[in-house]
Structure 1
Amino acid sequence: MEKAQPFNGFPKPAVIFFRELARHNEKKWFEAHKSEYEEQVLAPARDFILALGEKLRTIAPGLVADPRVNRSLFRIYRDARFSKDKSPYKTHLGIWMWEGPRPRMENSGFYFQLEPPEIYVGTGMYRFPDDLLPAFREDAVHPVHGLALADAVKAVQKAGFEVGGLKYKRVPRGLDAEHPNAELLKHDGLYAGAGLKLPPELHTAKFVDTCFKIYRRLLPLHQWLTAFVERNL
């Protein structure tokens, strides 16, 4: 396990880097500024993952916060093979810390994104694995699990977060369109979060606490989803 280094905030050059990358999204520019990316973005991001992960384990004991690329750190390189947008690089920093027994993207977790002029902080499952979608639909209408799900969704909405994951315009055929949770039956994923303007704390050690307080308000949805995954192993 990598030892945590003190996290002192994301330096201002990290914000500048992404603003400039958005203007010069090409290999030549990125290669010329790769050392800035590694020193001003990746290095503090690793410290942030370790520091925030340690704090999040107080509310999510099984959390994985692994500061390696393709673990908690998303690659900056875009897969443009099937996209009309052929830009080679993502213009944001993406971080994912998850809790659960399945592969990393098949569990609920805590997501962070830095994309000037905003950050995004969220939790949940962006898309249910194919084998879990039928189970989610069953749990959504279950007399106990469905009620707990509705309560969790209401809790994060009341806290001011936007709920996402809606896929279908209508309840899929064969499902109960009259059920109180019918709207959730239109989902193929379930997550909640908020986009926020860059806070002053971003550049200080206090940013860990800023994010932790947000994630704690999102906890009801994360807890329901982690229990759901455990029930359906």
Structure 2
Amino acid sequence: MITRPTLDFLAELKANNNREWFDASRPRYQQAAADFFDTVARFIQVLASYDPDIAKVMPDPKSCIMRIYRDVRFSKDKTPYKTGLFAYVSAGGRKGPLAGYYLHLEPGASFAGGGLYMPEAPVLARTRAAIDSRFDEWSAIVTTPDLLATFPDGVLPSGATKRAPKGFDESNPAIRYLRFKGYCTQRFFSDAEVLSRDFTDRLGECCRAVMPMVAFLNDAINSDMF
């Protein structure tokens, strides 16, 4: 489970984002990383209890967790470390093309959800085609009471086009979603919720609500891909 020292470490890292401080605090980072690994491992177990695709592959928690080191080669921001811990659980792997579930841990800004973030063009084309041809099904999924109760903002775009994408008309009933460049949901958790003993159960309830959307997206991707 997540402990107070883990949140304290991340808060202090944000205020001391430099190699000297990090090196001096490495034992604290290692403990925070162990806490997060344990939480992600439990998260995967909960996901596998209702998502058959996750149960089939049972991802290694280590392969789902992003590195804390930032890639600063092409960034004006040269701070070397991310100030939160992030994991992405998908049947296709963290770097694969499939939709999945995610957990971001950061003091005062922790969140979880499910979806497909900024996919490559061929994958996005498949999801748009599926939403267009199966819009009644998609609409029913993304407006269910369970999803909207968990994610009041509904499905959010990870970027969007200003005009209708090529091949679609502005009058298309699905045009709102066809403009999206990705499909995400987001539910924030307070630090008190993160530190609670039932946090992974809450994560499971959160992601269970978005599982039908994840399944729809992956069915669209897999139909032409594998």
AA of the residue aligned to 2:71:
D
Aligned partner of 2:182 in structure 1 is 189
User: Larger strand proportion, structure 1 or 2?
Assistant: 1
Cα deviations by residue, 1:176-210 (Å, 9 ceiling, x for unpaired): 21111101111111111122322x24224311111
AA of the residue aligned to 2:168:
L
SS of residue matched to 2:2: coil
- Which range moved further: 185-194 or 153-162? 153-162
**Alignment equivalent of 1:106, drawn from 77, 97, 101:** 97
Aligned partner of 1:24 in structure 2 is 16
Aligned partner of 1:5 in structure 2 is none
| C-alpha contact (below 8 Å) 1:49/1:65 kept by paired residues | no
Cα deviations by residue, 1:200-227 (Å, 9 ceiling, x for unpaired): 2422431111111111122221121122
Tell me: CA distance 1:103–1:14, structure 2 relative to 1, closer, same or farther (3 Å). closer
Aligned partner of 2:39 in structure 1 is 48
C-alpha separation in 2, matches of 1:132 and 1:221: 15
Two-structure CA RMSD over aligned residues (Å):
1.8
| C-alpha contact (below 8 Å) 2:70/2:81 kept by paired residues | yes
AA of the residue aligned to 2:61:
P
SS of residue matched to 2:100: strand
Q: Report how far residue 161 of structure 1 moved.
A: 4.1
C-alpha separation in 2, matches of 1:111 and 1:17: 21
AA of the residue aligned to 2:173:
P
Aligned partner of 2:120 in structure 1 is 129
Aligned partner of 1:168 in structure 2 is 161
In structure 1, the gaps of 5 or more residues are 1-8
| C-alpha contact (below 8 Å) 1:161/1:194 kept by paired residues | no
- Which range moved further: 128-137 or 176-185? 128-137
Q: Report how far residue 166 of structure 1 moved.
A: 3.4
Do residues 57 (structure 1) and 33 (structure 2) align? no
Q: Report how far residue 52 of structure 1 moved.
A: 1.6
SS of residue matched to 1:232: helix
Do residues 151 (structure 1) and 123 (structure 2) align? no
| C-alpha contact (below 8 Å) 1:49/1:66 kept by paired residues | no
Identity between Structure 1 and Structure 2 (%):
26
TM-score relative to the length of structure 2: 0.89
Q: Report how far residue 99 of structure 1 moved.
A: 2.1
**Alignment equivalent of 2:61, drawn from 67, 71, 83:** 67
Tell me: CA distance 1:176–1:157, structure 2 relative to 1, closer, same or farther (3 Å). farther
Aligned partner of 1:115 in structure 2 is 106
| C-alpha contact (below 8 Å) 1:166/1:184 kept by paired residues | no
